Amino acid sequence: KAGVTQTPRYLIKTRGQQVTLSCSPISGHRSVSWYQQTPGQGLQFLFEYFSETQRNKGNFPGRFSGRQFSNSRSEMNVSTLELGDSALYLCASSLGLAGGVYNEQFFGPGTRLTVL
Amino acid sequence: GESVGLHLPTLSVQEGDNSIINCAYSNSASDYFIWYKQESGKGPQFIIDIRSNMDKRQGQRVTVLLNKTVKHLSLQIAATQPGDSAVYFCAENGGYGGSQGNLIFGKGTKLSVKP
């Protein structure tokens, strides 16, 4: 069974540009969550999508957005990039079933974004 | 490999010894806790989880202890091996019920195993 894949693995952008990152979940998983990882702030939750709808959102500015497609693949977009957006962006997929059922999240390898 | 944290507490142990990694969580409403292992250049990998109605859970060579009174989690690794060297994170679900997509992660501890 293929794991979570993220593309691209590395990206270099300049301030003011925008970027789109892609995540393909494990087959059958309907929930995709995105996290930002930096040395200073650690791992921080960005948002979660389930069945093409944003189910949860973390405390990030509106420059960070995402979407999910009918095949559960997800993209996140960061507009007007700032130096502080340099980070490892991780996505995680799970079955995402609610109702008190806890489903393991499987993480991809991440996309390393560098903003110059 | 990529650096996942420049300011992480570090635990250095001898191969074969037991390791204990501690974590204080933030939300008393959290009812689900997970330990992840992250190796350089990779995403976090699930190790073990525990629900708030338990205080101990054992896996293969790993044990998680939960103390809700003081909001404390610990991960015990028995007979630590060089392959256990990684950064370890605890995570909590923040009490959001069935939706587990919004985990709150601790800062992480770097485990270094000396052969």
CA–CA distances in Å: residue B115 to residues B21, B84, B87: 19, 11, 18
For residue A103, which residues of chain B lie inside 8 Å, CB to CB? 100
**From CA B106, how far away is CA B28, in angstroms rounded?**
14
A26 token code pair: 């494990």
pLDDT of residue A104: 84
Q: Across the interface, which of B6, B45, B100 has its CB nearest the CB of A39?
A: B6
pLDDT of residue B59: 95
- The mean pLDDT value of chain A amounts to 93
**From CA B34, how far away is CA B89, in angstroms rounded?**
8
Chain A: nearest CA to B79, how far in angstroms?
Answer: 26
* Span B55-111, pLDDT tens digits: 999 999 999 999 999 999 999 999 999 999 999 999 998 766 555 678 889 999 999
Fill in the amino acid letter for A9: R
- How many Cβ atoms sit within 10 Å of the Cβ of residue B103? 26
Give whichever of A93-107, B25-39, B65-79, B91-105 has the largest mean pLDDT: B65-79
Residue A101 exposure: Cα atoms within 13 Å on the Cβ side:
7
For residue B42, which residues of chain A lie inside 8 Å, CB to CB? 109-110
B101:A105 CB<8 A: yes
User: What percentage of residues in chain B have a pLDDT greater than 90?
Assistant: 71
* Span A57-86, pLDDT tens digits: 999 999 999 999 999 999 999 999 999 999
Q: Nearest CA to A93 among A27, A21, A45, A43?
A: A27
A61 token code pair: 């500015």
A107:B43 CB<8 A: yes
